[in-house]
Amino acid sequence: MGRRAKNKQGAPPSFEEIQKVKEKRENKKRRSTESKTAEPKKKSKKKPKHDKPVKVVEDEDEFPAGLPEVDYDKLAKEKKSLFEDSEDEEVRVETLDDLPDVGDDEYDSDEAKRAKPIFSDEEDAGDDIEMEKINANNMEKYSKMLDEEAEEEELEAEEELLEGQNEQPRPKILPALDEGEEGEDNAQSHDVTFVRTRMLEIVKVLENFKNLAEEGRSRAEYIDRLIKDICEYYGYTQFLAEKLFNLFTPSEAMEFFEANEVRRPITIRTNTLRTRRRDLAQALVNRGVNLQPIGPWTKVGLQIFDSQVPIGATPEYLAGHYILQAASSFLPVMALDPHPNERILDMAAAPGGKTTYISAMMKGTGVVFANDSNKVRTTSLVANAHRLGCENVIVCNYDAREFPKVIGGFDRVLLDAPCSGTGVISKDQSIKVSRTPKDFMQIPQLQKQLLLSAIDSVNAHSETGGVITYSTCSVTVEEDEAVVDYALRKRPNVKLVETGLAIGKNGFTSYRGKTFHTSLSLTRRYFPHTYNVDGFYVAKFKKIASSPHDVSKAGAKEKEKSVRADEKEEGLIFHDFAKFDDKEDTDIMKESIKRSLKRKGINPKGVNVDRQLKRIEENIKKASEEEEEE
């Protein structure tokens, strides 16, 4: 179904719109309370935009003065900043000189937020300015008062509207029981606006079930309909939609699905082996690139708004002054915290975004073993290491499960694991239909083997490290908490520690009846809808003692067998997360084929889908027979 089509028709209020009214009301309350307790207001010290003094650059990351002016007001309206939250929106950036210094404590401070003049209720009292007495002195105050009143009226009107919606008779959102399948499959239920409206209505019901649900209807019925609508509207398989939906509350799930329809901002990482961020920013701005720092949490990242030159082909790019890298991808390296002169292993390294960052954090000293089992992909790893001048990198090509047999005793190991990619759906929409239940059995199995190898490859007595960082660009619990929890159980000689990352949601300590070690809350989750970054997961371990596994010569095959045996014994995957069943899988494939035909504008009724399905079924059967034989 074309997502563009939905925008042509009058859309119902979105979750964000409803949320905005709530936020406006809360902000207003907050401002009013603050102003009551605030000190008497001082005159704003803000200098006129065109009369600014040249700023003295004190910090090496500070932005230079005199860069061409960028219309940040316009840009801010168009693009959402990374890791911005509603409070950050109050920090207005007008020129590059006004950019908050990275690492500057004032960036997020309450001081800065209070800097905006506030019109308090207290000031209203005794300030009854009559029309005829308006003069140059009280004009500004009077105009603010009018603005306040208008805002108050607008809020009340919006609230009334929302309340009115809640008070209406309970709507019959689901098809009547006697309509059965037919009611669910009429032409209207495929209309995008209708489906969107129904999704919104179901979410409202689910969040206030007692008061809004239709009598005789269960929660499960609403959820079932909502998931079908999600599949219809966003184009997921039922299996994946359900899996992702279960991670959130209904309204947050909708925000997540919506965020997957929007590309994340383009970001670059300054290569500090070659340049400084302020110099890079200056050079790029001179070439007509609109940019700004990603946020206070990184001193090397820049967000690109738009550019008159291709960002992947500027002279600075070719000279290795920066690398195009997703913001979330900085996080595992920051958690790993590489130190100069260490020996570090990057187990699954291609194409090298994280390896080259590790190398830069080590200031080109020590050694980074950058390994990847895919030989073709190691070519780009070598190319990136060359371009960025990472002279301390050694590229190798092993199945990482062979470590520490290949080499061990590292100060730190990064395992940026191969994963299902459910955090990067906005980049690769094919994930919506290509992931099967089998993937969520096989991928975590590999991740578990790799993580045990990572742990065994670290020197518990390292003077500076003894650290393992595990990360994925997937948001599913099977690939994240379940893998980490498994490693904690299998290797009691490691413990989870704080990632040191200022942002991110806590990892789950329980999920759908399965309980994990309480320390799993130290791990960090990132979602596209909360931080405007790719979905990501980061866990940091400290190895506290050596174990016999550290010197084990077990190779990939033995490790695979052992993890499979563990899982069978624990019944973990099969019962908790991804029941694998040929029939169910076939149905999913059928739906996918039909949807894919529809997307191509082909009516599935005119195609012998059954024959295609038969072929797929035969392939599935053959694949599972081969697997069993193995």
Task: Please give the annotated binding residues for S-adenosyl-L-methionine, written as ranges.
Answer: 348-354, 372, 399, 416
By CB under 6 A, residue 353 contacts ligand SAM? yes
In this complex, which beta carbon is closest to ligand SAM, that of residue 353 or of residue 504? 353
CB 393 within 8 A of CB 418: no
298-337 footprint of ligand SAM as x/- string (CB under 6 A) = -------------------------------x--------
Strand partners, 495: 542
Cβ of residue 543: shortest distance to ligand SAM, in angstroms?
20
Cβ of residue 417: shortest distance to ligand SAM, in angstroms?
6
Interaxial angle between packed helices 219-234 and 238-245, expressed in degrees from 0 to 180 and rounded to the nearest 10: 120
In this complex, which beta carbon is closest to ligand SAM, that of residue 15 or of residue 369? 369
- Single out the residue of 52, 377, 427, 514 in contact with ligand SAM (rule: CB under 6 A): 377
In this complex, which beta carbon is closest to ligand SAM, that of residue 372 or of residue 485? 372
Q: What is the DSSP string of 440-470?
A: HHHHHHHHHHHHHHHHHTB-TT-SS--EEEE
Q: What is the DSSP string of 560-592?
A: HHHHHHHHHHHTHIIIII----HHHHHHHHHHH
- Single out the residue of 373, 420, 422, 447 in contact with ligand SAM (rule: CB under 6 A): 373
CA 185 to chain CA centroid, Å, is 34
Cβ of residue 600: shortest distance to ligand SAM, in angstroms?
30
Interaxial angle between packed helices 250-259 and 219-234, expressed in degrees from 0 to 180 and rounded to the nearest 10: 10
| Secondary structure (3-state) at 321 | coil
Cβ of residue 507: shortest distance to ligand SAM, in angstroms?
19
In this complex, which beta carbon is closest to ligand SAM, that of residue 377 or of residue 514? 377
Question: Looking up tokens 């993937």, which residue turns up?
Answer: 439
In this complex, which beta carbon is closest to ligand SAM, that of residue 250 or of residue 353? 353
By CB under 6 A, residue 423 contacts ligand SAM? no
Q: How far apart are CA 165 and CA 200, in angstroms?
A: 12
Beta strands, E only, 271-373: 289-293, 301-307, 322-324, 343-346, 367-371
Torsion of CA 331, 333, 337, 339, to 10 degrees: -150
By CB under 6 A, residue 374 contacts ligand SAM? yes
| DSSP H helices in 126-172 | 139-167
By CB under 6 A, residue 456 contacts ligand SAM? no
By CB under 6 A, residue 7 contacts ligand SAM? no
Phi, psi of 10 (to 5 degrees): -60, 115
Counting every residue, how long is the chain? 630
* Residues 285-289: contacts with CB under 8 Å, at least 24 apart: 285/67, 285/68, 285/70, 285/96, 286/68, 287/314
Name the segment binding ligand SAM (CB under 6 A); options: 295-303, 344-352, 501-509, 578-586.
344-352
Using CB atoms, what's the residue nearest to ligand SAM?
348
Q: How far apart are CA 367 and CA 304, in angstroms?
A: 32
The pair of structure tokens assigned to 257 is 């699905």
Interaxial angle between packed helices 609-629 and 582-599, expressed in degrees from 0 to 180 and rounded to the nearest 10: 140
The pair of structure tokens assigned to 466 is 């003894």
By CB under 6 A, residue 535 contacts ligand SAM? no
Q: What is the DSSP string of 78-117?
A: HSPPTT--TTGGGS---SGGGSPPTT-GGGG-HHHHHTS-
By CB under 6 A, residue 401 contacts ligand SAM? yes
In this complex, which beta carbon is closest to ligand SAM, that of residue 354 or of residue 491? 354
Cβ of residue 353: shortest distance to ligand SAM, in angstroms?
4
Q: How far apart are CA 617 and CA 409, in angstroms?
A: 47
Cβ of residue 333: shortest distance to ligand SAM, in angstroms?
8
Cβ of residue 243: shortest distance to ligand SAM, in angstroms?
20
Cβ of residue 519: shortest distance to ligand SAM, in angstroms?
25
By CB under 6 A, residue 350 contacts ligand SAM? yes
Q: How far apart are CA 623 and CA 630, in angstroms?
A: 11
Q: How far apart, in Å, are the Cα atoms of 576 and each of 75, 460, 520?
A: 45, 33, 18
Residues at the binding site are 348-354, 372, 399, 416
In this complex, which beta carbon is closest to ligand SAM, that of residue 148 or of residue 479? 479
Q: How far apart are CA 562 and CA 553, in angstroms?
A: 14
Name the segment binding ligand SAM (CB under 6 A); options: 110-118, 371-379, 527-535, 599-607.
371-379
In this complex, which beta carbon is closest to ligand SAM, that of residue 100 or of residue 404? 404
Cβ of residue 352: shortest distance to ligand SAM, in angstroms?
5
- Single out the residue of 91, 280, 344, 349 in contact with ligand SAM (rule: CB under 6 A): 349
Q: Cα Rg for the chain, rounded, in angstroms? A: 28
In this complex, which beta carbon is closest to ligand SAM, that of residue 290 or of residue 329? 329
- Single out the residue of 416, 439, 485, 534 in contact with ligand SAM (rule: CB under 6 A): 416
- Amino acid letter at 487? A
Task: Tell me, by CB under 6 A, how many residues bind ligand SAM.
Answer: 19
Just list the catalytic residues: 473
- Single out the residue of 225, 354, 594, 595 in contact with ligand SAM (rule: CB under 6 A): 354
Name the segment binding ligand SAM (CB under 6 A); options: 50-58, 260-268, 395-403, 617-625.
395-403
Name the segment binding ligand SAM (CB under 6 A); options: 69-77, 232-240, 387-395, 399-407.
399-407
- Single out the residue of 175, 250, 338, 418 in contact with ligand SAM (rule: CB under 6 A): 418
By CB under 6 A, residue 348 contacts ligand SAM? yes
Name the segment binding ligand SAM (CB under 6 A); options: 368-376, 509-517, 525-533, 562-570.
368-376
HSE-CB for 577 with a 13 A CA cutoff: 29
Q: How far apart are CA 38 and CA 54, in angstroms?
A: 32
Q: By the criterion CB under 6 A, which residues form the site for ligand SAM? A: 329, 347-354, 371-374, 377, 399-401, 416, 418
